[in-house]
Amino acid sequence: MYGAPVTLHTRDEFAEHVTRASQDVPVVAALVRERLPHSDLLDEALIRLAARKKHVKFVRIRANVCIPGYPVRPLARGAGAGRASGRLAGKARSAACVGVARVQDSNVPTLLVYKDGQLVRQFVTLKELGGARMTPDGTAWQTRWCGCGARS
């Protein structure tokens, strides 16, 4: 049926290819960031899995396109440099930006598994999939519990 991951470019495409399509077939969606080693590793695994699991639709989309601002977690109101002024404010803002940069990729890549129009499982980062040593077989094993591994 499918056989290769589809790259999505807009939220509307995500709705069509994931939310609506998962009414009929299981869909595995990868939220990735370009040139991030773990995203590249997940891409390689999905290419291999898609070739083996043709009854499952695999898609990939940049995380911040699918969910605006994802995975950046905004600072709580009153945190950071809101009330500081002058040189101190600039240093605090710089520190806040560094903090945001550190958490920006903390949830990428994320793997979302949809079935029957519903999100049935999410894997935030590769930790549950084996981390930097993840394999397509390990990913297939994890996603089969979500209804994506019934066929070979």
pLDDT tens digit sequence for 114-143: 999 999 989 888 888 888 888 777 777 666
Q: Is 98 among the domain residues? A: no
**Residues 60-90: tens digit of each pLDDT:** 999 988 888 776 554 444 444 443 334 433 4
Does pTM top 0.75 for this prediction? no
Q: Is 118 helix (H, G, I), strand (E, B) or coil?
A: strand
Positive or negative torsion for Cα 7, 9, 10, 16:
negative
Q: How many CA atoms lie within 13 A of 122 on its CB side?
A: 9
Q: Is 126 among the domain residues? A: yes
Report residue 103 as tokens: 């958490």
Q: Is 54 among the domain residues? A: yes
CATH number of the structural domain spanning residue 34? 3.40.30.10
- Confidence at residue 72, expressed as pLDDT on a 0 to 100 scale: 57
Apex 124 CA angle, 16 and 74, nearest 5: 90
78 φ/ψ sector (left φ>0, alpha ψ -120 to 50, else beta): left
